[in-house]
Chains A and B, each alone.
Chain A
Amino acid sequence: MIQPLFGKTLSELQEIVVQAGLPRFTAAQIADWLYPKRVASIEEMTNLSKKARSWLSDHYEIGVRMPQKVQVSSDGTKKYLFAAGAGKFVETAMIPENDRVTVCVSSQVGCKMGCLFCMTGKQGFQAQLTAGEIVNQVRSIEEAGKVTNIVYMGMGEPFDNLEQVLKSLEILTAPWGYAMSPRRITVSTIGIIPGMLTFLERSDAHLAVSLHTPFDEERQMLMPVQVAYPIRDVVNEIKSWDFGRQRRVSFEYILFGGLNDTPRHVNELVRLLDGLRCRINLIRFHPIPGTPLRGSSDETLFGFKDRLNEKGILTTIRASRGQDIYAACGLLSTKELVKNEKV
């Protein structure tokens, strides 16, 4: 069976060239063609011998996939839909802002975590993405080459697909890959502790944690993962980690009206995060179909931010982007999945 080359790390490419009887340095040449040079075919790898290209073509393809659909928001945000196996899809958002181009990538098709406020969770878990399928979301969009920042905040829980996510980070940051600074990449987790600790050890990218309430019982209603990995344990693990000066940890906090937006929540957040150099990103909730939750008012949102800042926690409000195309919610891929299931 023909395998994709795209998504292989340098050490995996070295294994391939050894198997082919080619010189070991060929692996670095292939990586150079695959990643910085973005070739579309093995034939374009012109510094490889004809014999090498012929052998590679017999066993491998480049394996990049172009998006199936793209939606464009009035604010310039785009949502790309990539096929990920028969009848399955993942979404990728591209968010332009001044001189920044941020790409929000998916790490799984669907998700196992079942958060009450999340559209992706309604698909259940469909499949893991490979490292190639993750990096392809950066490589195959129209803005490829202009991407300044990457966030793993699309569909899926990155640390439930740890090895592929780590491989994708290696390809994005290694000198033989895209050579991006890990400080331009943020991986967001719901708080899968074992995976988070391995990530902290093996990558230098920033960490973001979905917090959403500091109270156990409330969090359990919103996020079933709280049963297995309580937020207090997650934060304690983070507190024991030396982040240095450059690496950042942030907490994502969606404000739900009347649920998690009170002064009591501010005080408990301050207690929970005491002693940790971190940032809180407040996020407006954009309701998904059938949700019993509603977003907080802007007045509450700004008041919540001010109170946290007054108490010494750097708090920002994330700008809502691409609302007219549901850029953040998994709706497009869920619709496509349902459409395919009905056929």
Chain B
Amino acid sequence: MEKMTGLSAVQLTSNREISPGVHLIAYQRNAGFQPGQVVRITLDPAVPPRIYSICSGPHEAEIRILFNVKEDGWLTPRLARCRTNDTIWVSSPYGSFFCAGEPAWWIATGTGIAPFYSMFRAGWAGNKRLIHGARYLNQFYFAEELKQEMGSRYIRCCSREQGDDVFPGRVSDYLQQGGPLPREVKYYLCGKALMVVEVRDLLIAEGIPYENILAEIYF
């Protein structure tokens, strides 16, 4: 059993499957947070918690969490079966994946969209470009809302299906084919390790200073 303290019990206010195998759960906001921060979650204080990015705005009444169900995992299959009013254990928000007013590109794959959606809900999307990669079209969570607000600054890259206004290919393909990358903006990456490392290497090879690249990796 892994050790770490500082968990408190909260009741779920909702649990929705927003795409096959992908859930959005919510609980009453019990602490302030900054977009980009994470919480640790478990269903049993004796079982090691997992870390999830907050997927809601800092002024909203609820904290929401987006997660994939991992069939061989302990937590997410159980979490997916939870109902309203069920108890889960959460930590206070923490972490330093911050991005506020500066111009930036947000690059995510899959549920790595969560911290950027939180930033978007905080009203920080004005001078940002959001590039979201997924295998299938139904994995572009919050697409309608993001499309409406961000217009052409919201880019979807789909590697296994084709759709209207969707770049056919991976995020790295888009970055390589989309013309010169601006050097004066910051690049925020969130997703699995391989994507983050590949995209970071690509950005560095394109001349982006590594100081301008910040990454959050799901592990």
Interface residues of A (CB under 8 A from B): 110-114, 116, 121-125, 160, 162, 193-195, 197-198, 201, 216, 220-221, 224-228, 230, 290, 292-293
Contact = CB atoms under 8 A, between A and B. Distances in A.
B54 to A, nearest CB: 13
Interface stretch (B58-66, B125-133, B136-144, B199-207): B199-207
B interface, size bucket: 20 to 34
A194 B197 contact: no
B181 interface: no
Nearest to B215: A224
Given A113-B219, A121-B193, A125-B193, A193 B4 contact: yes
A230 B197 contact: no
Interface of B: 1-4, 38, 48-49, 51, 95-97, 192-197, 200-201, 204-205, 209-211, 213-219
Given A116-B210, A124-B192, 8 more contacts: A112-B217, A112-B219, A114-B197, A125-B192, A194-B48, A220-B214, A228-B216, A292-B210
B201 A290 contact: yes
A123 B192 CA distance: 12
25 contacts: A110-B193, A114-B193, A114-B197, A114-B217, A116-B200, A116-B210, A124-B192, A124-B194, A125-B193, A125-B194, A125-B219, A194-B3, A194-B48, A197-B2, A197-B4, A198-B2, A216-B96, A220-B96, A221-B214, A227-B216, A228-B216, A228-B219, A290-B205, A292-B210, A293-B210
B97 A227 contact: yes
Contact of B3 (A116, A201, A227, A293): A201
B204 A112 contact: no
A122 B197 contact: yes
Contacts of B214: 220-221
A224 B196 contact: yes
The SS class assigned to the A binding surface is: helix
A221 B211 contact: yes
Nearest to A118: B197
A88 B56 CA distance: 39
- Residue of A197, A201, A228 ringed by the most chain B CB atoms within 10 A: A228
Contacts of A194: 2-4, 48-49
Contacts of B97: 227
Given A194-B4, A220-B214, A290-B201, A228 B194 contact: no
A260 B51 CA distance: 29
A283 B161 CA distance: 47
A121 B197 contact: yes
Nearest to A162: B2
A10 B16 CA distance: 45
A113 B192 CA distance: 9
A89 to B, nearest CB: 16
Contacts of A110: 193
Nearest to A222: B210
Contact of A221 (B3, B4, B192, B213): B213
Contacts of A195: 2
B2 A224 contact: no
Given A194-B4, A228-B95, A292 B197 contact: no
- Residue of B4, B49, B204 ringed by the most chain A CB atoms within 10 A: B4
A187 B108 CA distance: 32
A221 B193 contact: no
A195 B211 CA distance: 29
Contacts of A123: 194
Nearest to A159: B2
A228 B95 CA distance: 5
B205 A160 contact: no
